[in-house]
Amino acid sequence: MEPGLNPEVAAEETVRRAVPSRPPIPWLAILLSSVTTSLVMLAGLMVLAPWENATTTAAVDRKPHAGAVHPSLGTFAYRAGTTYECEVARDDEDGLLYAGYSRTRSEMVQRDASRWTVVEIQCLLEHHGIAPGVVDGAFGSNTERAVRRLQNRARIAVDGIVGPDTWKALRA
C-alpha cells in the first residue's frame, strides 16, 4: 500500500485491478455479417421469385387482384364508398342465376380478392337472403361470413372459399 492512502480506498483499487477487463464488442463484424446475410437472402428471393408464376390457385387467390376485364364495365378498380346495384335474373339458356358482373361457375375466390366476380358473389348472396355487407367488390370478413352461411345451408364444405360447389349453390 502506498504511503498516505486510506486503507479503504486502497482495498477498492485492488478489487478494480483484480476484475479482468472485457474484450471490446466487435460491432463492425456484427454489422457486416448482418448486411451480408440480408443481401444473400434478398438475392435468393429475387432468384426464386415466389410471388410470380404461382402453381396453385390458392396461392394466386390470396392476393387481391382485378379479374378479367368486364366487356361493358371495363377493368375492376376498388373504390371505397362505391356500391353496385344487384339485379339478379335467371338465364333463359342454362337456367342459372346471374347478376351481370361475371359468368364464372368455377373460379376460386376467397378473402382479400377484389374484382367483378366478387360483386357477382355479393349480389347472389343477397339474392339468397344472406347479407354480405356492402356490395363493393371487396371480399372481406362480412362476405366470407355470408359465404360460410350459404355453404352451411347448402350442406357443402364450409371453408369461406367460393369454388365450384359454392358456385352451384349461388347460381341455383
Amino acid of residue 134: V
- Three-class SS state of 6: coil
| pLDDT digits 0-9 by tens, 16-74 | 665 567 888 889 989 999 999 989 888 877 777 655 544 433 333 333 334 567 877 88
- Report pTM: 0.61
Amino acid of residue 24: P
| pLDDT digits 0-9 by tens, 120-139 | 999 999 999 999 999 999 99
Ranges 2-16, 53-67, 153-167, most confident: 153-167
C-alpha dihedral sign at 23, 24, 29, 30: positive
**Residues paired with residue 90 on neighbouring β-strands, in sequence order:** 97
| pLDDT digits 0-9 by tens, 67-123 | 567 877 888 888 989 999 999 999 998 999 999 999 989 999 999 999 999 999 999
DSSP 37-106: HHHHHHHHHHHH-TTSS-SSHHHHHTS----SPBTTTBS----TT-------EE-TTT--EE-SS---SS
Contacts of 34 (CB under 8 A, 6+ apart): none
Phi-psi region of 155 (alpha: psi -120 to 50; beta: other; left: phi over 0): left
Specify the residue for cell string 367483378.
Answer: 116
Mean pLDDT of the chain: 82
